[in-house]
Amino acid sequence: MNYRLILNIAINLIRARLKQSIIAAVGVTFGIAMFITLLGFMNGLNNLLDGLMLNRTPHVRLYNEVKPSIDQPVLISKDYKGNTNFIQSIKPKDRGREIYNSKAIINILKQDKRVIDVAPKVTAPVFFNTGSIEITGVVNGIDVPAEEHLFKVSDYIIEGNVFDLNNENNTIIIGKGLAEKMLVKIGDVIKITTIKGGLVSLKVVGIMQIGIAEIDNTMSYTSLRTAQMLLGESASYITDIQVKLTDVLMAPAVAKEYKNKFKIDVIDAQTANSQFETGSEVRSIISYAVGITLLIVAGFGIYNILNMMIYEKMDSIAILKATGFSGNDVKWIFISLALIIGIVGGLFGLLFGFSLSQIIDMIPFETSSLPTIKTYPIDYKITYYVIGLTFAICTTAIAGLFPALKASKIDPVEIIRGK
Amino acid sequence: MAKKVLETININKYFYDPVKFRVLSDINMSINEGEFVSVVGKSGCGKSTLLYILSTMDTDYEGELLINDVNLTKKTDKDLAVVRNEHIGFVFQFHYLLSEYNVLRNVMLPGIKLAKYPLKEIEHRAMEHLRTLDMADQALKSPNQLSGGQKQRVAIARALINDPIIIMGDEPTGNLDKKNSDMVFDIFNNLVKERNQALLIVTHDPDFAARTHRTIEMADGRIIS
């Protein structure tokens, strides 16, 4: 087959019907541009929301879960072995919240090649005292450099500096909601009651805002040492070990491994945030569905225009067949025609989609809850562009195929004699 | 004895719509190279139907068709397209030029399809044909800028581009005035004399038919003389 000739004829047919061809291509352009923009925007938002959660949660967290002992006395008893035992009113076992041998565990974790860094943490429920009112809250004792490295806590500090926690003893950074409730500002001293009854005064060195009201109303950060002091515990007291991995996808497997290795409760990010995963997945599916619908509509446009073109060009098709073009040749002429429209329209679509994404990327998007975000987030993943173009080519090829088959079956005798 | 370029053996054709009707009955004929044959007959006698069977475009018939000693019955659409491209030239009553291309490109198209010669050579040959038909100065015009007689000459040039062994025409002069019609006849006559190509022309024009070498007369789907 003479591809160059076929392509040449297809191009000439397009040139003869330039206006219609452009309209068909614009349909594809519009579909692809919207597809790219929609997906970029949707996934930009998805990543932002996921990041909000995932960046602040460790990939793997080691802790002591409050739960009953797995080995109940009756199961150990030889007399009842092999029986089905029903035990009622089990209470969780008090193992304390401390992770035993935490120093050794941290050292082992730090040597694991899959681990980026490890951050120990002490969490303690406390009451913040303001006047005669007690507000329930949580104190997080953090290893400031490690926490900053893993979770970029400084992003959420709206006033003050996170490293002041280390510079001065008995200091605290409190959530914005908490600060507003207690009417305190940096430099003020607040009183905290621990659940064991101890009363401690801490100086506020910073105010933080994560953007989730519930957290901002209860959360506070202190240094590891201050938290241990608050609880009256030794320097080895750690309640959580947070681990960030090089690849978050490994988290479930790694969590399982640590669980067996250290005989401790371990949770991975995927399990901890499963509802977020579902949310982003559904949003992705919706954006793909809308994008693909747009492209299919564009495909119908191409189908219509090619069909019309074939009716108009009946004579030309008849003469091509009479002078030695086979049905197959004619079919390829119209398929190439559709593909040219699809590829040109698709490439312009990618360009417009990219431009549109850039425009959205420049629109200011400032919310008090997301201090680091200044404009709408856009995901420029190359995959969307590849999918867009592939889909444009596929839709136009299929849209062109049916008219092309029809053209290939045109009987030249009928046309020539029909005059 | 001259070589047979086209031969039919017992060709029959039926139309089925609205009722089964025999259009052609036992057509046996042959054409030699260098022969100028015309087919005449009343409207509806089946002469055009016969021509389209001979041209390989209509494959729905019984019997056998040989062109250049090759049996073409039951060949595929693709093979027949090659035969049409290489061995048969067509001239129709209506001119059927592709309006997307200029005159020269229209003439070249079957040649480019055959791809026997490089593009430059095809262009040269196309110009030669246009020159012999006195159309060289119109080569770069669009077909719809030409008169009816001029278009028909372009169509003839296109039919000649691949040096076919037989040229078929379905009333090529039917739409032309006397002067243009005579000119077309002269062109055909020269082809037969100079190039030894065979010509099979269906016509209504008794004057035109009378001047050809042989006239096949048809009536009711049969050859009567």
Q: Which of A236, A269, A302 lies at the terminal end of a domain, its last residue?
A: A269
Per-residue pLDDT of chain A (419 residues; tens, 9 = 90+): 578 888 888 888 888 888 888 888 888 888 889 888 888 888 888 888 777 777 778 888 888 888 887 778 887 888 888 888 888 888 887 777 888 888 888 888 888 888 888 999 999 899 999 888 889 999 999 999 888 888 888 888 888 888 888 888 889 999 999 999 999 989 999 999 988 888 889 999 999 988 778 888 998 999 988 898 888 888 888 999 999 888 888 888 888 988 888 888 888 888 877 777 777 778 878 878 887 887 788 778 778 877 887 888 888 888 888 888 888 888 998 889 888 988 999 899 999 999 999 999 888 887 766 666 788 888 888 988 998 888 888 888 888 888 888 888 888 877 777 65
> How close is the nearest chain A Cα to the Cα of B12, in Å?
17
**Exposed/middle/buried for B53, CB within 10 Å: 0-12, 13-18, 19+?**
buried
Q: Which of A229, A245, A269 lies at the terminal end of a domain, its last residue?
A: A269
Residue A23 shares a structural domain with residue A148: no
**Exposed/middle/buried for A184, CB within 10 Å: 0-12, 13-18, 19+?**
middle
Count of CB pairs separated by less than 8 Å, A with B? 78
Distance of CA B150 to the CA centre of its chain: 17
The closest CB to that of A413, out of B58, B109, B114, belongs to: B58
pLDDT in tens, B101-115: 888 988 898 888 888
The closest CB to that of A323, out of B52, B93, B110, belongs to: B110
Q: Name the nearest CA neighbour of A139 among A240, A62, A221.
A: A221
Inter-chain residue contact A416 with B109, CB threshold 8 Å: no
The closest CB to that of A322, out of B84, B97, B101, belongs to: B84
Q: Say what the pLDDT of residue A140 is.
A: 92
* CA–CA distance, B172 with B98 (Å, rounded to integer): 17
> How close is the nearest chain A Cα to the Cα of B120, in Å?
14
Nearest residue of B to residue A417, measured between CA atoms:
B48
Residues 6+ apart with CB under 8 A from B3: B32, B33
pLDDT in tens, B142-196: 888 888 888 888 888 898 888 888 898 888 887 778 888 888 888 888 888 888 8
Q: Say what the pLDDT of residue B5 is.
A: 85
> How close is the nearest chain A Cα to the Cα of B166, in Å?
13
Domain that holds residue A68: 60-269
H-only helix segments in B27-169? 47-54, 77-87, 103-114, 119-132, 148-160
φ, ψ of residue A171 to 5 degrees: the values are -120, 160
The closest CB to that of A325, out of B55, B113, B158, belongs to: B113
* CA–CA distance, B173 with B152 (Å, rounded to integer): 8
Chain A residues 319-358 with CB within 8 Å of chain B = 319-329
> How close is the nearest chain B Cα to the Cα of A400, in Å?
20
Instruction: Inform me whether the C-beta atom of residue A375 falls under 8 Å from chain B C-beta atoms.
Output: no
The closest CB to that of B78, out of A15, A316, A328, belongs to: A328
Chain B residues 78-117 with CB within 8 Å of chain A = 78, 80-82, 84-86, 90, 92-94, 96-101, 109-110, 112-115
Inter-chain residue contact A319 with B98, CB threshold 8 Å: yes
**Based on the structure, what is the number of domains in chain A?**
2
Instruction: Inform me whether the C-beta atom of residue A113 falls under 8 Å from chain B C-beta atoms.
Output: no
pLDDT in tens, B28-76: 888 888 888 898 888 878 888 888 888 888 888 888 888 888 888 888 8
Inter-chain residue contact A324 with B85, CB threshold 8 Å: yes
> How close is the nearest chain B Cα to the Cα of A402, in Å?
19
Inter-chain residue contact A419 with B93, CB threshold 8 Å: yes
Instruction: Inform me whether the C-beta atom of residue B15 falls under 8 Å from chain A C-beta atoms.
Output: no
| Site from A4, A18, A323 to mutate, B interface, most B CB atoms within 10 angstroms | A323
**Exposed/middle/buried for A173, CB within 10 Å: 0-12, 13-18, 19+?**
buried
* CA–CA distance, B122 with B107 (Å, rounded to integer): 9
Nearest residue of A to residue B158, measured between CA atoms:
A323
Residue A193 shares a structural domain with residue A304: no
Instruction: Inform me whether the C-beta atom of residue B205 falls under 8 Å from chain A C-beta atoms.
Output: no
First to last CA, chain B: 22
Inter-chain residue contact B78 with A413, CB threshold 8 Å: no
- Percent helix, strand, coil in chain B, to 5, is 40, 25, 35
pTM (2 d.p.): 0.71
Residue A68 shares a structural domain with residue A148: yes
Give the dihedral sign, CA B115/B116/B117/B122: negative
Q: Which of A228, A251, A269 lies at the terminal end of a domain, its last residue?
A: A269
* CA–CA distance, A195 with A222 (Å, rounded to integer): 17
Residue A305 shares a structural domain with residue A265: no
Chain B partners of A2 at a C-beta cutoff of 8 Å? 112-113, 115
Chain B partners of A334 at a C-beta cutoff of 8 Å? none
Q: Identify the H or E element spanning B6.
A: strand B4-15
Helix axes A382-408, A327-362, angle to 10 degrees: 150
Q: Say what the pLDDT of residue A353 is.
A: 92
Inter-chain residue contact A324 with B82, CB threshold 8 Å: yes
Give the dihedral sign, CA B204/B210/B214/B216: positive
Q: Say what the pLDDT of residue A358 is.
A: 92
Task: Strand B214-219: give its sheet, edge to edge.
Answer: B88-91, B166-170, B198-202, B36-41, B214-219, B222-223
Chain B partners of A417 at a C-beta cutoff of 8 Å? 48, 52
Helix axes A18-54, A3-16, angle to 10 degrees: 100
> How close is the nearest chain B Cα to the Cα of A319, in Å?
6
> How close is the nearest chain B Cα to the Cα of A329, in Å?
9
Inter-chain residue contact A316 with B100, CB threshold 8 Å: yes
* Pairing assessment for the beta strands A199-208 and A189-194 based on DSSP bridges: antiparallel
Instruction: Inform me whether the C-beta atom of residue A316 falls under 8 Å from chain B C-beta atoms.
Output: yes
Q: Say what the pLDDT of residue A223 is.
A: 92
Residue A260 shares a structural domain with residue A398: no
Q: Give the CATH superfamily of B4-98+155-223.
A: P-loop containing nucleotide triphosphate hydrolases (3.40.50.300)
Chain A partners of B98 at a C-beta cutoff of 8 Å? 12, 316, 319-320
Q: Say what the pLDDT of residue A350 is.
A: 92
Residue A240 shares a structural domain with residue A299: no
